[in-house]
Structure 1
Amino acid sequence: LEGVLDENTAAEGLHTLGYSASGTHYIYLHLSLPGRELSDISILSGYIHLQKLELSHNKINDLSCVSHMPYLLELNASHNDLTTYFGFKPPKNLKEVDFSYNRIRKMQDLAAYHSLTKLFLDFNDIEEIRGLEECHSLSQLSLSHNKLLAISGLENLPIKILNLVRKVFYQYINICINETLAELPELRWMAELPLLRALNLLRNPLQEQRDYWLRAVFTLLQVTDLDLQKVSVEEKVAAVNKYDPPAEVVAAEDHRAQLVGHMLQPHRILHSTLPGFGAPYPVLVLVGPVACGRRELAQQICRKFHNFFRFGPCHTTRAPYFGEENRFDYSFISPEVFEKMVKNGKFIATYKYGGHQYGLGRDTVESVASEGLATCVHLEIEGVRSLKYTHFKPRYILVLPRDKEKYEEHLRRKGLFSRPEIEEAVSRVDMYLKINQDSPGYFDAVLNTDELDEAFAELSLLVKMYLGL
């Protein structure tokens, strides 16, 4: 009968002699019958010793005979008429399966296929990747040219090679309106595949996004091959520096931006702030987490030592808190004005905290220095990092609450901060302590601000020592 496999035709495809599972006699281990126009292969139910079965380029739509092949290791049924896959009792050690170029629409649960290492499902009609959660040996998965709308169940698998190439990837088209590629779910879950090394996304609309390459590299730092190209170490460093730069990189970039902006402006000599042959212009910086008492201490020191210091308020884009005065506590400006000042080189250092910009103005320091006084400012650690790149050599005093519960309660009582803002501020106490511990000399002194009066008395002694009084 046409399309029905008989014993003579099957015999033509048998090859590779080897021992049976019991080891008592020789048998054929492999059967290869590609391009035979076969549609009925039920006769293979009797070929129980097969380890490799090649049936590509036929017209097969039923593989139930595989249920009788307990020793099968590899199965190639690509280019057939299958509408379902794995429609058979699973061979215990089945490792490699190719169902490419069929008409499969749905993936079913493969929990019984513990030994599966490679699965090829290219050129089908699959809309959702599912059912692979228990395939703990799966290292290569290929689903190119399907109709994928959803992907799940791959997070804990040891996948090293994942191929999702396709001409139309509807979910990507819908998501690509998002400007932040790193937030795409399809890339975010891939980042949780620790063994993933090669990923091919060629011909996805995703690639049309601006900075696609660096964003994809940043999201998938474990990948060594992306879109059939090697990912270099330099590209990974560039991606991290752009999308999640280390604090020192942020500070260095800020310093570069301030220098460029300043150099583009007409120059004037600032005798009071230029580094000289003697001691550098004196600046006192109190650094610590928000509302820890650093501003109060800075202003108290300026009042007590008014013949030596004047307070230099920073510029900020945030709105004033209740009771704050413009140009006394901060100079409150709009983001547009702040950006214009950056471009015009008006800042010595800037930093971002809590979604707002802060900057130490050149004119602020110069106005103090022109009167023969030293400048006293207060900053977060981000501002300190930027300031350390300049020619200024301030004294950095870390002012820090040690009782975190008391500090948290203090923040709550002020009624100015949200719960996430309070949690962030409290967590930064440990960050400051770690910096002080890991980098001896980074701060010139450390003060406990649990009791501000005691902290002010200790700070006064330090200032007297610095001034030689």
Structure 2
Amino acid sequence: MPHLLELNASNNELTTYFLFKPPKNLKEVDFSYNQIPKMQDLSAYQSLTKLLLDFNNIEEIRGLEKCHSLTHLSLSHNRLIAIAGLENLPIKILNLSFNQIEKISGLDSLKTLQKLDLSSNEITSLEGLEEHDLLETINLEDNQIAELRELDYIEDLPLLRVLNLLKNPIQEQTGYWLFVIFKLLQLTELDLKKISVEEKVAAVNKYDPPPEVVAAEDHMAQVMYSVLQPHRIFDSTLPSLDTPYPMLVLVGPLACGKRELTHKICRQFNNFFRYGPCHTTRAAYFGEDNRLDYYFVSQEAFDKMVNTGKFIATYKYSGYYYGLGRDTVESIAREGLATCVHLEIEGVRSLKNTYFKPRYILLVPTNKEVYEGHLRRKGLFSRSEIEEAVSRVDMYIKISQDFPGYFDAVINTDELDEAFTELSFLVKAYLGLEPPAPSDSVQDLNSRAGAGSRIRLLEEQRLSPGRVITGTTWSSSVNEFLDSSAKNYPGGISDRFAAQLSSVEEASLQRRHSAARRALSEKAPGAYVQLFQRDLAVTPAPSSSRQQLLEPTINISLLSDGRNITQDQSFPLTNPESRKSKLKKAIKGCRESGPASGRFVTSAGASAAGVSVRTPVPRACITKEAKAEHQDPRRAENGVDRGKEAEFPSDNLQRRHSKSKAESSLVPPLINRPGSHSRPVLPPIPSGRMTTNP
């Protein structure tokens, strides 16, 4: 049969094969399920493309050296102990399952291999599978692979889509499923199960999350742990509902000068800023002091602070953890000062998720060679740390260029003295201490920056806060920096956004800027004081809820005989007749003078109707006798009905209230918190209750 193409001699009791003159064009041969003990020389079968020798007694692969057309070879269920004799063959499908193979070797020259089945062997390592770029399917079920690190050998296979590791000890490793998916993101099927997109996203977010995901998870963790703590009002939230707590954040790569510039700014503007040291788990470098540069704590102490909600934001850099402490910011806020800190970009991402709205200034060296030499001369960092720091310079610049407005300003730190001058001028403009000088032109930095890291300025002679600031060449970008709501988009985009602001928004921005500047320059009372020390003359009408909060109220209780008694918070009960006459005289005299003190009594008519009407009683006009009586509470007599003491018509309320506004300068402010003058009132005694004398 000279034209025979396929031969199937399976399921017999053959002990040898090809003991006849071979047809020249024979392509596919099946000798499976026989008793063949060894392979023969197949040099004469150069057209052979498929050879099946499954379920035999073969112990060694040989005789295939000249089969240059062989693409499919199957030797499952034999007695093979090693892979050999397959050099330089164009095999695409190789099945060596159910043998006694311990190592994956002898496959280096099989560059066209696409499907490999090594299931049910004794393989312990995946070494030998690397560099098979065409490999699509690997079946390693029922082997002895135990370590997740073995996946490194097949991590870079670009076309790998199907992997089977069932019945291997590796499946017992913690996080096995997501880790394998993360290491081999190109997979579509693992352990005979399809991989979903959601599982791939979960794997990436767990083992190598994007920076934004890391920051979001950090923020959620801090919020969760802080909510579990006893609630309290933070000082950093008190200054104003319209203006966020002022913070200045200097951002930059390792040892770029941000620590030195932070301390200099805090020393120069010590009436406005205070430095807030972060907590860190790394050891102190030479020249760093605890509590001055950082709070150096152990990993256990840091974890405890995280679990107790002590941090606003945390991040990890170079294997160490850093955290901006809540108590650090609050202690500075209690002093009425703004917080100044320095962070890496990871900390900025976390802080941007909080309700704080700091000013972010990027400090970046543009000459990487000078920067690298500076790091080497310090002698504090390893080679890997220096290489990482230098590589992050381009990352910082790319963020500034790709995300306009991410940083409010960028300053070149090749020369720290010039950088401090620029930073100082910027802070002055921010605080409103010195108006920015108009600039007719902006100097180009391309001549100063290195060839590999040039930063261009904005067109139309406008300096974007996302670009480098040099010298004193300032433009309208200062106004953009001062505007907390401005998005620093290039040129015309920013103008279109600015044109959309309504008059109300413009007024709100101006009000916020002026209030913040007055507070920081100590030209106005502290924002904390303004919350609790309000002038009663400018408060709303007595019926408003805010006045009820800020002004002391009248306590009405019920005596044992069922009569109502109205007790003023300032004046204890006295003899009814003398008390009534003295109060009438005092109020009659004060009608002419007018200033209200914020003390109120309740009219009888209003009490009878069940409505609480509070009438201002001028404290400045209280007679000496009433004051003496107020100082001697022993003269008070219990059981007196004072419901008819004050009978003022309701129209006098508005007249006196408006009059008190006109003469508000005579009104003493409340210096304590609302309700601090109130006294506890016992609940009424039920009628008919039996009482006995002691």
The question of a shared fold, defined as TM-score above 0.5 by the shorter chain, is answered with: yes
Query: Are 2:425 and 1:461 aligned?
Result: yes
Aligned residues of 1:350 and 1:358 also touching (Cα < 8 A): yes
Aligned to 1:278, which of 242, 246, 251? 242
Paired residue for 2:78?
102
Secondary structure at 1:43 match in 2:
coil
| Cα distance in 2 between the residues matched to 1:142 and 1:296 | 61
Using the TM superposition, give the Cα deviation of residue 227 of structure 1 relative to its aligned residue in structure 2, in angstroms.
0.4
Query: Are 2:28 and 1:64 aligned?
Result: no
Aligned residues of 1:412 and 1:422 also touching (Cα < 8 A): yes
Secondary structure at 1:28 match in 2:
coil
Structure 2: gaps (5+ residues): 434-694
Using the TM superposition, give the Cα deviation of residue 275 of structure 1 relative to its aligned residue in structure 2, in angstroms.
8.3
Secondary structure at 1:192 match in 2:
coil
Aligned residues of 2:36 and 2:58 also touching (Cα < 8 A): yes
Q: What's the CA shift string for 1:262-313, capped at 9, x where partnerless?
A: 0000011114336843111110000001211111111111111111111111
Structure 1: gaps (5+ residues): 1-10, 12-19, 21-26
| Cα distance in 2 between the residues matched to 1:368 and 1:416 | 31
Paired residue for 2:229?
265
Aligned to 1:246, which of 210, 215, 237? 210
Using the TM superposition, give the Cα deviation of residue 86 of structure 1 relative to its aligned residue in structure 2, in angstroms.
3.8
Q: What's the CA shift string for 1:416-464, capped at 9, x where partnerless?
A: 1112111111111111111111111110001111111111110011111
Secondary structure at 1:248 match in 2:
helix
User: Relative to structure 2, which stretch is displaced further, 130-139 or 227-236?
Assistant: 130-139
**CA 1:360/1:340 → structure 2, altered by over 3 Å: closer, same or farther?**
same
Using the TM superposition, give the Cα deviation of residue 323 of structure 1 relative to its aligned residue in structure 2, in angstroms.
2.3
Aligned residues of 2:185 and 2:200 also touching (Cα < 8 A): yes
| Cα distance in 1 between the residues matched to 2:102 and 2:20 | 32
Aligned residues of 1:45 and 1:68 also touching (Cα < 8 A): no
Paired residue for 2:489?
none
Secondary structure at 1:242 match in 2:
helix
Query: Are 2:116 and 1:141 aligned?
Result: yes
Q: Kindly name which structure, 1 or 2, has the bigger radius of gyration based on alpha carbons.
A: 2
Paired residue for 1:255?
219
Aligned to 2:279, which of 315, 318, 335? 315
Aligned residues of 2:249 and 2:359 also touching (Cα < 8 A): yes
Aligned residues of 1:273 and 1:366 also touching (Cα < 8 A): no
Secondary structure at 2:43 match in 1:
helix
Structure with more of its chain in strand, by fraction: 1
Q: Given residue 347 of structure 2, which amino acid in structure 1 is its aligned partner?
A: G
| Cα distance in 2 between the residues matched to 1:63 and 1:318 | 64
| Cα distance in 1 between the residues matched to 2:248 and 2:158 | 47
| Cα distance in 2 between the residues matched to 1:211 and 1:153 | 24
Secondary structure at 1:110 match in 2:
coil
Q: Given residue 371 of structure 2, which amino acid in structure 1 is its aligned partner?
A: Y
Paired residue for 2:105?
130
Q: What's the CA shift string for 1:38-66, capped at 9, x where partnerless?
A: 00224244333311111111011233253
Aligned residues of 1:275 and 1:392 also touching (Cα < 8 A): no
Using the TM superposition, give the Cα deviation of residue 110 of structure 1 relative to its aligned residue in structure 2, in angstroms.
2.3
Query: Are 2:59 and 1:83 aligned?
Result: yes
Q: What's the CA shift string for 1:307-332, capped at 9, x where partnerless?
A: 11111111111122222221111111
Query: Are 2:369 and 1:405 aligned?
Result: yes
Paired residue for 2:407?
443
| Cα distance in 1 between the residues matched to 2:118 and 2:7 | 26
Query: Are 2:87 and 1:120 aligned?
Result: no
Secondary structure at 1:132 match in 2:
coil
**CA 1:426/1:270 → structure 2, altered by over 3 Å: closer, same or farther?**
same
Q: What's the CA shift string for 1:57-88, capped at 9, x where partnerless?
A: 10112332532222211111100111111423
Q: What's the CA shift string for 1:133-182, capped at 9, x where partnerless?
A: 2222211010111122443154233111111111x41xx34xx4xxxx3x
Q: What's the CA shift string for 1:5-48, capped at 9, x where partnerless?
A: xxxxxx9xxxxxxxx7xxxxxx2211111111000224244333
| Cα distance in 2 between the residues matched to 1:415 and 1:436 | 30
Using the TM superposition, give the Cα deviation of residue 111 of structure 1 relative to its aligned residue in structure 2, in angstroms.
2.9
Paired residue for 1:423?
387
Give the number of aligned pairs.
432
| Cα distance in 2 between the residues matched to 1:123 and 1:90 | 26
Secondary structure at 2:424 match in 1:
helix
**CA 1:131/1:42 → structure 2, altered by over 3 Å: closer, same or farther?**
same
Secondary structure at 2:369 match in 1:
helix
Q: Given residue 111 of structure 1, which amino acid in structure 2 is its aligned partner?
A: E
**CA 1:86/1:45 → structure 2, altered by over 3 Å: closer, same or farther?**
farther
**CA 1:455/1:88 → structure 2, altered by over 3 Å: closer, same or farther?**
closer
Query: Are 2:134 and 1:158 aligned?
Result: yes
Paired residue for 1:374?
338
Alignment of 1:13-28 (within 5 A): 27-28=3-4
Paired residue for 2:352?
388
Q: Given residue 341 of structure 1, which amino acid in structure 2 is its aligned partner?
A: M
Aligned residues of 1:52 and 1:72 also touching (Cα < 8 A): yes
Q: Given residue 182 of structure 2, which amino acid in structure 1 is its aligned partner?
A: F
Q: Given residue 381 of structure 1, which amino acid in structure 2 is its aligned partner?
A: I
**CA 1:156/1:65 → structure 2, altered by over 3 Å: closer, same or farther?**
closer
Q: CA RMSD in A?
A: 1.6
| Cα distance in 2 between the residues matched to 1:309 and 1:273 | 17
Secondary structure at 1:397 match in 2:
strand
Aligned residues of 1:45 and 1:66 also touching (Cα < 8 A): no
Aligned residues of 2:236 and 2:329 also touching (Cα < 8 A): no
Task: Report sequence identity in percent.
Answer: 58
Query: Are 2:4 and 1:40 aligned?
Result: no
| Cα distance in 1 between the residues matched to 2:259 and 2:130 | 51
Aligned residues of 1:247 and 1:382 also touching (Cα < 8 A): yes
Using the TM superposition, give the Cα deviation of residue 102 of structure 1 relative to its aligned residue in structure 2, in angstroms.
0.7
Q: Given residue 92 of structure 2, which amino acid in structure 1 is its aligned partner?
A: T
Alignment of 1:334-353 (within 5 A): 334-353=298-317
Q: What's the CA shift string for 1:321-364, capped at 9, x where partnerless?
A: 22222111111111111111111111100111122111111111
Aligned residues of 2:247 and 2:357 also touching (Cα < 8 A): yes
Aligned to 2:7, which of 25, 28, 31? 31
Secondary structure at 2:300 match in 1:
helix
Aligned residues of 2:65 and 2:86 also touching (Cα < 8 A): no
Alignment of 1:349-364 (within 5 A): 349-364=313-328
